[in-house]
Amino acid sequence: MTSRPILYFALGVVACVGVAWALVAVVKDRRGPVTASAPADAVPGEVSVAGAELGGPFTLTDHTGRRVSDTDFRGRFLLIYFGYAYCPDVCPTELQAIARAIDLLGPAADRVVPVFITVDPARDDVAHMAEYVRAFHPRMVGLTGSEAEIAAVAKAYKVYHRKAPGTAPGARDYLVDHTSFIYLVGPDGKVVTLFRGGTAPEAVAAAVRARLG
Ligand code: NI
């Protein structure tokens, strides 16, 4: 990441963390009774998605320029994070956590694909995504698309995102508010669980390992 002024650093925390709970609220709302709880084997940071309608089909463009759909990933687990490459702090931290979790899984990670989906396609084009994901993990897949494609996948995964208030029209240097969760998607394409921002890579790896069987 290029260095950013301190003010941007501070704003970035707000921009990313400040909305981190929005999706939890949505998930809880759809979960029904408040007695519903996380699975007994849940690791710290894991958020139950039981009863929530999350995820779905998508077709996007990967960081090599290839068009890919959700069905191309069937048979493998995905660790997906939604964010943007210019994010000053939270996105890099979460993507590092995913990369570390992949490494912790060792050979079992062959069945797990780390995926970064941008919510800022205007700036995160294929070339920028290629450069960005390479900085985190050689196996990380970066996905971008048209504004409509990104809006659709974000809606399906209930990812809140918008340019930070006060962004001047036409500005190229802006922050994006967005939810911060790591999604674990199963080999059937269904969302298995979520991890809150800040979940330890060891916990993510343990939760994935438990599902790999
Ligand atoms: Ni971010």
Ligand 1 center–CA 118 separation, angstroms:
10
Ligand 1 center–CA 85 separation, angstroms:
8
Ligand 1 center–CA 84 separation, angstroms:
6
- Predicted confidence at residue 170, as pLDDT, reads 86
- Predicted confidence at residue 180, as pLDDT, reads 96
Ligand 1 center–CA 88 separation, angstroms:
7
- Specify whether the CB–CB gap between 69 and 57 falls below 8 A: yes
- Predicted confidence at residue 51, as pLDDT, reads 85
- Predicted confidence at residue 41, as pLDDT, reads 62
Residue 205 CA to residue 213 CA, distance in Å, equals 13
Which tens digit of pLDDT belongs to each residue from 141-193? 999 999 999 999 999 999 999 999 988 888 889 999 999 999 999 999 999 99
Which tens digit of pLDDT belongs to each residue from 68-119? 999 999 999 999 999 999 999 999 999 999 999 999 999 999 999 999 999 9
- Predicted confidence at residue 106, as pLDDT, reads 96
Burial class (CB in 10 A: 0-12, 13-18, 19+), 189: middle
- Predicted confidence at residue 55, as pLDDT, reads 95
pTM: 0.83
Which tens digit of pLDDT belongs to each residue from 27-80? 443 433 333 345 556 778 999 898 889 999 999 999 999 999 999 999 999 999
Ligand 1 center–CA 89 separation, angstroms:
7
Ligand 1 center–CA 45 separation, angstroms:
18
- Predicted confidence at residue 69, as pLDDT, reads 98
Ligand 1 center–CA 47 separation, angstroms:
19
Ligand 1 center–CA 192 separation, angstroms:
22
- Predicted confidence at residue 111, as pLDDT, reads 97
